[in-house]
Amino acid sequence: MEQIKNILWILYLTLNVLVAIYFLQPVLFSLLYFILPGKKKKPVHTAAETDFAAIVTAHRDTRFIPPLADSFCKQQYKHFMLYVVADDCDISALHFEDPRIRILSPPVPFNAKVKSIAYAVEHFERAHDVLIIFDSDNLVHPDYLKNLNRYFQDGFRAVQTHMLSKNTGSTYAKLDSVGHIYNTFTERECKMKLGLSSAILGLGIAIDMALYKEIFYNNTLGGFDKKLQIQLVQKVKQIAFAHDAVVYDEKVEDGSTLEKQRTRWIFTYFKYFRESLLLLLKGLKRMRSGEVMMGLMMLRPPLFILCFAALVLCIAGFFLSPLLGILWCCILSMFALNFILVIALKSRQKGMVQALIHIPKIIIRQVKSLLRIKTANKDFLKTEHKHVMFIDEVLKNESA
């Protein structure tokens, strides 16, 4: 009986350590980010300009294509083509005078982002150097391609650009933005400064064409960005983060839409759990810190699940070992303080800090999302977008 108690105690302590790592890691990264001096940028010794192929995947909705095309027409950088794959769309109203914008209409519906991207690549008008993947509701800052070009001239082969919110009018839009601001800082900006691979998104990811041709997909539905991330981190020394190349994305406006979105995200987390674990084990075997950190990040459960686990461990700690309970109180306090400071210091749009008081709303919605996770395998769970905005309007909303 004593041996069983010892085993259970060891398992309990191990669980404490694993959960604590996920709360302490972003705090440590923040400290290193602000303490360590910034690396001096290596001068670019070439005047070469990257030829970009921007691929937009639109599905059954073309309302957002004109604003996106407008934001590309306003680019200071001129060496690009914009390929819009209008999957199962009526394109009769889409007419653009700019020869750099091409509308592609597949003969049969794809209903899959991966297939739409492949279709665009097959219909390139010339051999581009880099492709960039966008959603139809995105907009790009006028300096987007000009700034992104420098990263590829510096030798990076995969670059995640900086996603900001296109709309921040509602409470849920701000809450959605808050989570992204925090993750962008801890999983992209900090890692870029520390020389680690940045986490990617399903939009605004720029990849060297030769590198992208090495990527393969076992299936074409769900988790596009996770599969891409797992392969990229094993093929390049570092996935860069371009803080100054800004792309805007629409945030969810209401609780039901957020719930649907989070259901899809939670489902893909479990779907790719095995691949994430294999990435971690490979990284440990090959002693590659980038793969280890990416594997740990992808294995991290959604934050609301981690918070519930930490609260349970904290309460249990006071009963089993008061010191553990005190340690958990300290860990959670440091995490909360770090979270608030990151939002306060890194928000570029108005009202983000004030939105923090509404965090319980998003936690409740995510619990509901977890309970309906089985529907994600039966339903496409597409996030519906509503705000048709042009880039000039979005730029006015940014903080000075």
E strands present in the chain? 52-59, 80-87, 101-104, 130-135, 139-140, 158-165, 205-208, 240-249
104 shares its domain with 15? no
Count of alpha carbons within 13 Å of 186, Cβ hemisphere only?
A: 23
Between strands 130-135 and 205-208, the pairing is antiparallel
- pLDDT score at 209: 96
Residue range 153-159: mean pLDDT, rounded: 95
121 shares its domain with 258? yes
289 assigned to some structural domain: no
Task: Give residue-wise pLDDT tens across range 229-263.
Answer: 999 999 999 999 999 999 999 988 888 888 888 88
Between strands 158-165 and 139-140, the pairing is unpaired
The percentage of the chain sitting over the pLDDT mark of 70, rounded to a whole number, equals 91
Asked if 135 and 92 count as a contact pair (C-beta separation under 8 A), the reply is no
313 shares its domain with 363? yes
237 shares its domain with 210? yes
Gap between the Cα atoms of 328 and 184, Å rounded: 25
Can you give the CATH number for the domain in which 109 is found?
Answer: 3.90.550.10
Q: Say what angle helices 303-320 and 322-346 make with each other, to 10 degrees.
A: 150
Q: Tell me the one-letter amino acid at 366.
A: Q
Q: Which domain holds residue 197?
A: 52-274
357: left (phi over 0), alpha (psi -120 to 50) or beta: alpha
The total number of structural domains that make up the chain: 2
247 shares its domain with 350? no
Task: Give residue-wise pLDDT tens across range 355-398.
Answer: 899 999 888 888 888 887 766 655 545 566 666 888 988 887 66
Task: Give residue-wise pLDDT tens across range 26-65.
Answer: 999 999 999 988 665 555 555 678 999 999 999 999 999 9
308 assigned to some structural domain: yes
Q: Global pTM? A: 0.90
95 assigned to some structural domain: yes
